[in-house]
Structure 1
Amino acid sequence: MTESRSAGEKALAGKVALVTGATRGGGRAIAVELGRAGATVYVTGRTTRGAVSEVGRPAETVEQTAELVTAAGGEGVAVIVDHLQAGQVRELVARIERDHGRLDILVNAIWGGDHLVGYGRAVKMWEFDLDKAQRMHQLGVETRCITSHYALPLMIRRPGGLVVEITDGTEEFNHENYRAPFYFDLAKYSLFRMVKGLSEELQEYGCTALGLTPGWMRTEAMLDTLGVTEENWRDGCKADPDFAMSETPLFVARAVTSLATDPDVARYNGSSLSAGPLAKEYGFTDADGSTPDPARYFTDLFRTGQRPDPDDYR
């Protein structure tokens, strides 16, 4: 395939992407948007029509995600993978190699550890359940290391590859704000060192690695937690006024697609990015036409101790 394209051809036509942790939330939305841009997207997860992961949400499956990718105009390929199992990841990459001989985009969106965190509990690191602590590290860090170990040798065969590590906050924000409990903070902050290391090691091959954070996503699980739907999501602000800064998973998905179609994306190698500022640079919006910037909102909230007007940050 030549890199020149006729007018109207999808920007990622001919490209192959792998989105891990794509069963729901941001991972699903990213996969669908990459498909909308014309990519073939391999989507992985542990919840299928025949099995449910420890997250315990049977309604969202990896097969559904693949079908949504295809319906959007790409080619979705569902692969059931536990990314802690090296053999399963090795076979996944071997399949991509057999099918296409290339990998252009790797988006690591794996997490699935919210049920282990116990948000709001003042538990010291030595009091925290060690089994849950180790599981958080496995889900949030080891999965990504194993995946990159097998996927990157395929990616570096061609210059222009892109690795996106989906993070929870920017490096600057996480550096300045401790996010208890200890093991959650450690798992999330480790990703910034991962991006730094990958950016150094991939650069000579003409590939780019970066970190990207969404804001407060209105995922399926978050909407359920607050007892609202996407149609009446603002009712969730009664329980938490900061929910006014939330965004749909589409917002970070559009950020990923904008990066993946940017011929000069290498300028971001090693960077920690946020979807809000990227929306202003690339000109995309959330589903409602707004451009929420929760990173700036929460920075000002923590800095001043006063809750800003959310409308000033959309």
Structure 2
Amino acid sequence: MSSKPLAGKICVVTGATRGIGKGIALQLADKGAKVYITGRTLDPPKGSKVGGCLRDTAQEVERRGGICVPVHCDHSKDLDIERLFEQVKRENEGQLDILVNNAYSAVNAIFSSLNVKFWEQSPTMWDEINNVGLRNHYICSVYAARMMVPRKQGLIVNVSSAGGLRYLFNAAYGIGKEACDRMAADCGYELRKHNVAFVSLWPGAVGTENVLTKLQDNLSNPDFEVDKNLPKALQQPEKMLEYFEKAETTEFAGQCIAAMATDAELMKMSGKIVQTCDLARRYGLQDAEGHGPLDYRQINVILRQFGHPWLANCIPDFVRIPKWIVALVGNKLF
């Protein structure tokens, strides 16, 4: 296989100043694509502990030999989104091959409201989580589809999470993530006959700069509470920090998306939820040394998370919960 399997492809990755978005952009560019990256911060913010700006991402792409176009875009503003896709269309003769809907602006809101019930929060929590994290994904997908459908090819990816299956963090978070998954299913249904794929990607836990910084800060905060819905083995800040330090790197999701984009059977995945752990097995992908996706269908992984390492060591990795049973966890029919 060519070392540049995405050569000639045009990609848009939203929310690429840092974290998963930046990692995805780096990997798509490494594979030969021209990558447009978006975010609200063009230049390094003063006094930020986690840093992150579009120019930093673009410079790293270029240092690695890739092509990157940073575009200032506030994804809470419809006009900014429209201008982004007009620019991509104008500069590439209408070509767009991959859209990754990753922009998200609610990490701070989530960390500041752990274990606070929805009626105890301001109703604006909905907008903080789902304006950029959901509504924007739909708008971007509309503009992307208008470019992909006439060319009869393309891939749209919503970066989602298992929070769409069962309760995680807070009500608005779970509602938004399940909606991201449903968006892939319903938009994928309408796009199928046009040979355009739409998937919802569930990375595992990812050690992003923002998450690691917040966890490190919280180690010295006696008032910090972790999410009480997490397994007991993770309900200690130091355990959670250790967990995320060994989790997926920010670039692993990008490896997965690049592999999917070149898969001859991509359309079989369209409308579905795909997990990085499954894609790693499918394509033989390896994360950086000491990191990797956790397969939450592996019985031994589940046992370790719930504090039974001795029993987990007795069960081989290939013993997994069937997907149909996982689906029942989120079954809402009575």
TM-score computed with the length of structure 2 as normaliser: 0.79
Q: Which residue of 2 aligns with 1:225?
A: 214
Extract unaligned runs of 5+ from structure 2: 218-235, 319-334
For the residue of structure 2 that corresponds to 1:162, the secondary structure is strand
Q: Deviations over 1:147-172 (max 9, x none)?
A: 11222201212122001111122xxx
Native 8 Å contact 2:15 2:104 kept in 1: yes
Q: CA RMSD in A?
A: 2.9
Distance in 2 separating the partners of 1:10 and 1:195: 27
Q: What amino acid does structure 1 have at the position aligned with 2:72?
A: I
Larger deviation, residues 179-188 vs 204-213: 179-188
Q: Deviations over 1:23-80 (max 9, x none)?
A: 111110111111011100000011221768xxx6672101211222223332100000
Native 8 Å contact 2:15 2:102 kept in 1: yes
Native 8 Å contact 2:134 2:180 kept in 1: yes
Deviation at 1:242, TM superposition (A): 4.1
Q: Which residue of 1 aligns with 2:223?
A: none
Q: Which residue of 2 aligns with 1:22?
A: 16
Going from structure 1 to structure 2, the CA distance change for 1:30 and 1:50 (only over 3 Å counts) comes to: closer
Q: Deviations over 1:234-291 (max 9, x none)?
A: xx98432644751211221111111112122111011101111111110111111764
Distance in 2 separating the partners of 1:307 and 1:109: 34
Q: Which residue of 2 aligns with 1:81?
A: 73
Distance in 1 separating the partners of 2:290 and 2:50: 31
Larger deviation, residues 149-158 vs 18-27: 149-158
Q: Is 1:38 matched up with 2:35?
A: no
Deviation at 1:126, TM superposition (A): 1.5
Going from structure 1 to structure 2, the CA distance change for 1:285 and 1:58 (only over 3 Å counts) comes to: closer
Native 8 Å contact 2:10 2:98 kept in 1: yes
Native 8 Å contact 2:212 2:245 kept in 1: no
Distance in 2 separating the partners of 1:313 and 1:290: 17
Counting only pairs closer than 5 Å after superposition, residues 176-191 of structure 1 correspond to structure 2 as 177-191=166-180
Going from structure 1 to structure 2, the CA distance change for 1:37 and 1:197 (only over 3 Å counts) comes to: same
Distance in 1 separating the partners of 2:299 and 2:122: 29
Report sequence identity in percent: 30
Native 8 Å contact 1:226 1:239 kept in 2: no
Distance in 1 separating the partners of 2:216 and 2:237: 11
Native 8 Å contact 1:119 1:181 kept in 2: no
Native 8 Å contact 1:111 1:140 kept in 2: yes
Counting only pairs closer than 5 Å after superposition, residues 221-260 of structure 1 correspond to structure 2 as 221-227=210-216, 238-240=238-240, 242-243=243-244, 246-260=247-261
Q: Is 1:197 matched up with 2:186?
A: yes
For the residue of structure 2 that corresponds to 1:208, the secondary structure is strand
Native 8 Å contact 1:301 1:308 kept in 2: no
Distance in 2 separating the partners of 1:96 and 1:205: 21
Q: What amino acid does structure 2 have at the position aligned with 1:30?
A: I
Going from structure 1 to structure 2, the CA distance change for 1:289 and 1:256 (only over 3 Å counts) comes to: farther
Distance in 2 separating the partners of 1:259 and 1:123: 38
Q: Which residue of 2 aligns with 1:47?
A: 41
Native 8 Å contact 1:43 1:79 kept in 2: yes
Native 8 Å contact 1:23 1:65 kept in 2: yes
Native 8 Å contact 2:160 2:177 kept in 1: yes
Distance in 2 separating the partners of 1:215 and 1:304: 14
Deviation at 1:133, TM superposition (A): 2.5
For the residue of structure 2 that corresponds to 1:130, the secondary structure is coil
Q: Which residue of 1 aligns with 2:323?
A: none
Q: Which residue of 1 aligns with 2:97?
A: 104
Going from structure 1 to structure 2, the CA distance change for 1:23 and 1:299 (only over 3 Å counts) comes to: farther
Q: Which residue of 2 aligns with 1:143?
A: 136
Native 8 Å contact 1:15 1:103 kept in 2: yes
Larger deviation, residues 180-189 vs 267-276: 180-189
Extract unaligned runs of 5+ from structure 1: 1-6, 229-235
TM-score computed with the length of structure 1 as normaliser: 0.84
Q: Is 1:65 matched up with 2:57?
A: yes
